[in-house]
Amino acid sequence: MKEKFLAIIEKTLDEVLPKVGERPAELSEAMRYAVGTGGKRIRPLICLASAVAVGGSAEDARYPAAAIELLHNYTLVHDDLPAMDNDTERRGKPTVWTKFGEANAILVGDALQALAFLAAADAPRNVAEIVSALGAAGVGVVQGQVEDLKRESGTDGASGSPAPLPVECVDFVYTHKTADLFVAAAAMGGYAGGGSEGDVAALRRFALNLGLAFQYEDDLLDGDSPYSREKTEALVRETTAASISALEALPGDTSFLKALAEKLVGRSV
């Protein structure tokens, strides 16, 4: 199933992105570079599988799936900029700003964000709800980034590295910076697949907890959790269990979503 989903995602991204050489050629090249440099495609996979979970088909959600991946990559392009994280490498390759310049990277991010809404508007049904979910995630991820930047503007005097995220900010930052895109992916897929409001609500619960579990597991991998290792491991288990439990309310095949949630626990990358 994963291979089928990935084939749909890559085909649709290739369809909606500007063609190679389309004027201005440097923008078209940079947009394709940003989206095509790898990544797990977790968010569009969630979107397609969510359509199936409400009784629809993966094809129903192919444009929303492309939209959430475009939005995700816009955030990465902007996050890598010198004014943000100042990263020169992503997924083993030069970041967009490093390869194409800062000004072009800003414009690439802008264009990817706009293109995400164009793609979402091609959904087969419930277009207003799908675009609304995408927009809410777009605002939310920026809110989370702003709060996170407050932390990164200060440093740990002992190491010179960014100060740890204050515990009182953890829920807000993790919910918006990470989980919001998971929630949008699931909701968009549910709407595209013709799910009821109850189905979409269950998918939102699934995705919120999945996004939190994903972030907690990242903290374990990076060794920078604001909590003790024991508590962080417990949070991964709790949110994963809550995520899987939410799937019980759905009428379609939820096996892919369940397997995805289970795979996040104890992953090595």
Enclosing domain of residue 151: 2-264
pLDDT recorded at residue 156: 43
Q: Could you tell me if residue 256 is inside a domain?
A: yes
Q: Could you tell me if residue 70 is inside a domain?
A: yes
What CATH number does residue 241 fall under? 1.10.600.10
Number of structural domains in the chain: 1
pLDDT recorded at residue 266: 66
pLDDT recorded at residue 158: 45
Backbone φ and ψ of 160, nearest 5°: 80, 0
| Contact between 200 and 190 (Cβ < 8 Å) | yes
Q: Could you tell me if residue 115 is inside a domain?
A: yes
Q: Could you tell me if residue 158 is inside a domain?
A: yes
What average pLDDT is seen over the chain?
A: 92
Q: 109-129: per-residue pLDDT in tens?
A: 999 999 999 999 999 999 999
pLDDT recorded at residue 84: 93
Q: Could you tell me if residue 142 is inside a domain?
A: yes
Check whether 237 has a pLDDT greater than 70.
yes
Could you tell me which residues come within 8 angstroms of residue 180 by beta carbon, excluding any fewer than 6 positions away? Answer: 136, 137, 140, 141, 144, 211
Structure tokens at 268: 């090595």
Structure tokens at 253: 């095949």
Q: 33-85: per-residue pLDDT in tens?
A: 999 977 899 999 999 999 999 999 999 999 999 999 999 999 999 999 999 99
Q: 192-205: per-residue pLDDT in tens?
A: 999 999 999 999 99
Q: Could you tell me if residue 269 is inside a domain?
A: no
Check whether 181 has a pLDDT greater than 90.
yes
- Going by the DSSP 8-state scheme, the letter that residue 87 receives in this structure is -
